[in-house]
A and B are shown apart, each in its own frame.
Chain A
Amino acid sequence: MAFDGLNEKFQNIFSGLKRKGKLDEADIKAANREIKLALLEADVNFKVVKQFTKAVAERAKGAEVLKSLTPGQQFIKIVNDEMTKLLGGELQKMTFVDKGINLYMMVGLQGAGKTTTAAKIANLLRKERKLTPMLVACDVYRPAAITQLQVLGDQLNIPVFTIPDQNDPRVIASEAIKKAEAEGYDLVIIDTAGRLQIDEALMKELSDIRDLVHPTETLLVVDGMTGQESVNVAKEFNDLLDISGVVLTKLDGDTRGGAALSVTYTTGKSIKFIGTGEKLSDIELFYPDRMASRILGMGDILSLIDKAQNMVDEEKAKELETKMRNMEFDLNDFLEQIKQLREMGPISNLLEMLPGANQKMFKGMDMNETEDQAGKTEAIITSMTPEERSKPAIINGSRRKRIANGSGTSVADVNRLLKGYEQSRKMMKQMGNLTKGKGKKGRFKMPFM
């Protein structure tokens, strides 16, 4: 899980302070030193660490902490505030134009995740802002980079513009704009080749493209696992291109957060999105305060709720509610729910948003097994006939055998599923009675909410 190393250390530091009751300057100094080490070990840039611990120390020295009745809590609050500040303060929204084309240009080092991110953003903004996207393939260097974007475009049903055999990305970019204008696209995302920030020729190519097409935003894509180098990269790209924001990728790994905590300080530009998986829906807005709580081990309930709300289809939820009330909830609905749950992304990603959650808590639990289980359930239900799904009661021994064979599972698996379904039904009945009794009209919550 991302930030595990850090949030575990912070929780240790904090619980040490809370136990103390009263704090003196030496306590604070010691805590600050531990914070410094934790951040350095997490790849946060050296200068950023110095600045951060200095800011925390200064505020902690003030009357705020020492005189407080709950000095530990006060100190934690300061760390939380400063970290939120370091991460950019508030959510920075994307810039959109009222009229014309919203043009975003993706830039960054090789292998950072630009192409995938370009496709993810196109998909997200089509859904959220109802824009009509076009992707532009300007990576003329890496073998098959254009094909990669085309494949992603096909998957999303988003057109990809390129000019075969054109090896000047400047030409491709400006032709793309003409086409978008002529055909009424209002969202254009330009994917560029990865390059080192010290490669002058290639960096100039980027500023040329920018001067030709005037992007609404230039987004620097940074691999979340980047080490001390993130500062040099961010600084050079920003100096040359005056980037408008950063996208941090691969946060589904167990990165310690160094890049996240260093880039905004270095550039003064906010992180706008984070990439959290290989699926094209695995992208989230970046909320500095929520991220700070996550890093400090305080969880991120707000993001979890957002996620659930985004994934749940309002219509389907209402339908389900009626079914539950009338006890018509069958295996088709069960399947639907599992699908929705899985669409929210890896279960481990969800769990890490819970307050106090860290790797240790889930040590005994195999996330992949949980996910396999959901996969199995899906397979079993899809191997049933429509009749069986709507009337599970008819599933007898020989049917169970057939279903197990068809889904590549065992009869025991099928039994387990049917039992689970029966239990949910019972639970729903009780819940139904309860809400009826109170005369409330509130709708049922998904079991996972």
Chain B
Amino acid sequence: MASFYQRMKNKLSNTKDNFKEKLDHVMYYHKLDDDFFDDLEETLILSDMGIDTSVKIVEALKMQIRQTGTKTTEDVKVLLEQIMSDMVDVASPTVQTPVIMMVVGVNGVGKTTTIAKLASQYLDEGKKVMVAAADTFRAAAVEQLEIWADRIGVDIIKSNTGADPASVIFDAIHAAKARKVDYLICDTAGRLHNKVNLMNELEKLTWVIEREGSEFNKHNLLVLDATTGQNALIQARTFNDAVHLDGMVMTKLDGTAKGGVVIPIISELQVPVEYVGIGEKKDDLIPFDAHAFVHLLYDESDQPENSEEN
């Protein structure tokens, strides 16, 4: 499989805001003066990194430039990349099977599609996979997962719209035990994180998983949409409080959104981003590489760099 960097790069062709170019441009005219740092801060904010983090990065860069006496664009870039890489440096735990994965997030971020992509990937690895359609709320959400399950060829446990999601998960766990599956992936209804009763429902689902699936490992995944701004940070906090997150998936990076908000999220919650979604097809899911991601934020030239090839 092509590396994260290359696949992202292919998807991210012709983005107009070329940070690197900007950086070169600014430095050509301004050297390392206030305009340069203002511009840098602006670029970071435009990638959804938020004020606090952007300011923090710029301050750290200023200090390191002073300490190291750096003067060239290339060297500044190296420093900058290092600062940002350090912020997202969180170890990704390996998922031990058999496992029950619960996939959560707000409405429309791409939970169901991501489940299909994950299932397909585990299936390709020769694993036994089952999905549970516990979004019993949104119209035709069950049918949506069913169509995917059919396409990919995995078992699905479902009930009808309006059914109790806990009972779907209950049934799924027992089926997963009987059929000895490696991965049981549970879809859940999208919910805005400020709706307390819906968040409580998630806690109830976790509880059912704990009680019925004691012989399984547990892995809770939050799906975030790269187009979301600073609200994603609050989403991550609230979901993490409600169900303890083991990992995150960021979708829709095939658009022009930079998804910079993951940087403050990872750095605050210390929860890793495991995958990113780069399209609507089942193979459009790639393992996340934090360092390459940082690099991508400000290097979007069309030419793949040799040094990044695996």
Interface residues of A (CB under 8 A from B): 1, 37, 40-43, 46, 109-113, 141-145, 147-148, 150-152, 155, 196-198, 223, 225-229, 232-233, 250, 252-256, 258, 278, 366-368, 371-372
Contacts and interface: CB of A to CB of B under 8 A. Distances in A.
Contacts of A43: 48, 229-231
Contacts of A372: 197
A197 B192 contact: no
24 contacts: A40-B45, A41-B51, A41-B230, A43-B230, A46-B42, A46-B45, A110-B108, A110-B110, A111-B225, A142-B144, A142-B280, A147-B139, A148-B143, A227-B48, A229-B255, A232-B256, A233-B227, A250-B107, A252-B192, A252-B194, A253-B193, A254-B194, A256-B229, A278-B137
Contact of B147 (A1, A112, A143, A367): A143
Contacts of A112: 108
A150 B143 CA distance: 12
Main secondary structure of the interface of B (DSSP, over half): loop
B252 interface: yes
Contacts of B161: 151
B255 A109 contact: yes
Contacts of B192: 250, 252-254
Contact of A143 (B47, B137, B148, B252): B148
Nearest to A146: B140
A414 B49 CA distance: 52
Contacts of B258: 228-229
Nearest to B200: A368
Contacts of B108: 110-113, 223
A37 B51 CA distance: 7
Nearest to B234: A254
Contacts of A253: 106, 192-194, 231
Given A41-B230, A226-B227, A367-B196, 8 more contacts: A1-B194, A109-B255, A144-B140, A145-B144, A147-B143, A228-B229, A250-B106, A256-B229
B130 to A, nearest CB: 18
A144 B147 contact: yes
A256 B231 contact: yes
A232 B161 CA distance: 36
B267 interface: no
A228 B140 contact: no
B73 interface: no
6 interchain residue pairs of minimum CB distance: A227-B229, A111-B108, A43-B229, A151-B139, A148-B140, A143-B147
B246 to A, nearest CB: 23
Interface of B: 42, 45-48, 50-52, 106-110, 137-141, 143-144, 146-148, 151, 161, 192-197, 200, 225, 227-232, 234, 252, 254-258, 261, 280
B194 to A, nearest CB: 5
Contact of A258 (B46, B138, B229, B280): B229
A143 B112 CA distance: 10
A152 B147 CA distance: 19
B255 A368 contact: no
Given A148-B139, A250-B192, A198 B231 contact: no
Given A144-B140, A258-B229, A229 B257 contact: yes
Contacts of A143: 143-144, 147-148, 151
Contact of B231 (A111, A152, A225): A225
Nearest to B111: A111
A198 B256 contact: yes
A37 B227 CA distance: 21
A147 B48 contact: no
Contact of B230 (A37, A42, A155): A42
A253 B195 CA distance: 8
A145 B138 CA distance: 11
Contacts of A254: 192-194, 231, 234
A256 B230 contact: yes
A397 B231 CA distance: 51
Contacts of B194: 1, 252-254
Given A111-B107, A250-B107, A253-B194, A228 B46 contact: yes
Nearest to A44: B229
Nearest to B238: A254
B255 A151 contact: no
A148 B229 contact: no
Given A144-B147, A253-B192, A110 B280 contact: yes
Given A253-B194, A256-B230, A366-B196, A228 B45 contact: yes
B47 A228 contact: yes
B45 A144 contact: no
A368 B196 contact: yes
B22 to A, nearest CB: 13
Contacts of A155: 139
B144 A227 contact: no
Contacts of A151: 139-140, 161
Q: Count chain A CB atoms within 10 A of each CB in B146, B228, B254 and give the residue with the most.
A: B228
Contacts of A113: 107-108
A43 B46 CA distance: 9
Contacts of B256: 196-198, 229, 232
A43 B258 CA distance: 13
Q: Count chain B CB atoms within 10 A of each CB in A152, A196, A372 and give the residue with the most.
A: A196
Contacts of A371: 197
Q: Count chain B CB atoms within 10 A of each CB in A1, A43, A258 and give the residue with the most.
A: A43
A2 B272 CA distance: 28
Contacts of A142: 144, 280
Contacts of A255: 231
B229 A111 contact: no
Contacts of B148: 143
A278 B108 CA distance: 12
Contact of B197 (A1, A42, A147, A368): A368
Contact of B48 (A144, A145, A228): A228
Contacts of B51: 37, 40-41
A236 to B, nearest CB: 9
Contact of A229 (B107, B227, B230): B227
Q: Count chain A CB atoms within 10 A of each CB in B137, B140, B151, B228 and give the residue with the most.
A: B140
A141 B147 CA distance: 12
A196 B231 contact: no
A144 B234 CA distance: 30
Nearest to B194: A254
B231 A141 contact: no
A185 B139 CA distance: 25
Given A109-B227, A223-B227, A46 B46 contact: yes
Contact of A144 (B107, B137, B143): B143
A115 to B, nearest CB: 8
Given A223-B228, A229-B227, A253-B194, A196 B255 contact: yes
Contacts of B107: 111, 113, 250, 278
